[in-house]
Amino acid sequence: MGIDQVTLNFNSATLTIMNILIGFIMFGVALDLKVDDFKRTLSTPKPVLIGLVAQFFLLPAFTFLLVMVVKPLPSIALGLFLVAACPGGNLSNFLTYLGKGNTPLSISMSAISTVLAIFMTPFNTLFWGSLYPGTNALMRSFSISPVDMLLTIFIMLGVPLVLGMYIGNKYPGWASRTNKWMKRFSIIFFILFVLASLASNFNYFLDFVGMVAIVVFLHNLVAILLGYFSSRVAGLPEQDRRAIAIEVGIQNSGLGLILIFNFFDGLGGMAIVAAWWAIWHIVSGLSLATFWSKREPKTQAINGGIQV
């Protein structure tokens, strides 16, 4: 059986738990967000705008180019399009801090990209998927409703985000105490989420992960380089470049997995791409952040972004 014929199986109870888990993780992230984070972004919008353009426009477009060059199987290609359409991942803020990047910028990008993802994730997935013949035919076989996808993402991301910010601002003392263990548990829950998505389908994962490992490596590398060099061309300082590179390179693959099981019936190629991405971006993100942690960022940018 080929990877395009594999459908990973999840019962409704497991899927419900995973939906709740993603909402819980987003609630924990939102506890740390303040209205001032958005105000600060509006006062100096350029870095965030550069990052969001790289996240929601350049990365999906370059993913399409990568697919055209590599020509993976349709379900793998559709998995790449979906992952590229997801917002920044939950680890990006921590990795930016570790890598001596601009952490407030990372937090602002995470918050805004999560809000925009309610609209941009379904749009980018369906738009770029429709342009590639193999994935276009695959999507038609699932009869996906953009409105249903938008509503699902809003429930998983938008509601916990608003609720978390409200509670964090209404009860700052409780939020501050709670946020410390929420961050720790969010990482643990995320890892458990990925493991749960693989546990009952482990044989499929072992059989086919080799088919996606190289293309996921290339995809992640493209994402990191796009974030870094787009901000360099824009003349942003090194701390901002690091933050944007990590933010664009660390995708919310947990959200991607949920959408795959909700709308694509656990299609094997897509699910294995998202699951392996979840593992690989932790490895690549930690490696990059550790490398940067040993090198102080330069603070001056001149001549169109060339640092001296």
What are 142-177's pLDDT values in tens digits? Answer: 766 777 777 877 877 778 888 888 888 888 888 877
For the domain with range 9-307, which CATH number is right: 3.30.50.10, 3.40.30.10, 3.40.50.2300, 1.20.1530.20? 1.20.1530.20
Q: How far apart are CA 251 and CA 277, in angstroms?
A: 8
Q: Which of the residue ranges 1-5, 8-12, 217-221, 251-255 has the most confident prediction, judged by mean pLDDT? A: 217-221
| One-letter amino acid of 39 | K
Q: Where are the domains of the chain?
A: 9-307
Q: What token pair was written down for 142? A: 């699932």
pLDDT over threshold 90, residue 69: yes
Q: How far apart are CA 187 and CA 24, in angstroms?
A: 11
Share of the chain above pLDDT 70, in %: 80
Q: How far apart are CA 140 and CA 225, in angstroms?
A: 33
pLDDT over threshold 90, residue 272: no
Q: What token pair was written down for 253? A: 């693959």
pLDDT over threshold 90, residue 131: yes
Single pTM value for the model: 0.79
Report residue 304's pLDDT band, with 50, 70 and 90 as the boundaries: very low
| Residue 168 backbone dihedrals phi, psi, to 5 degrees | -60, -35
Report residue 11's pLDDT band, with 50, 70 and 90 as the boundaries: low
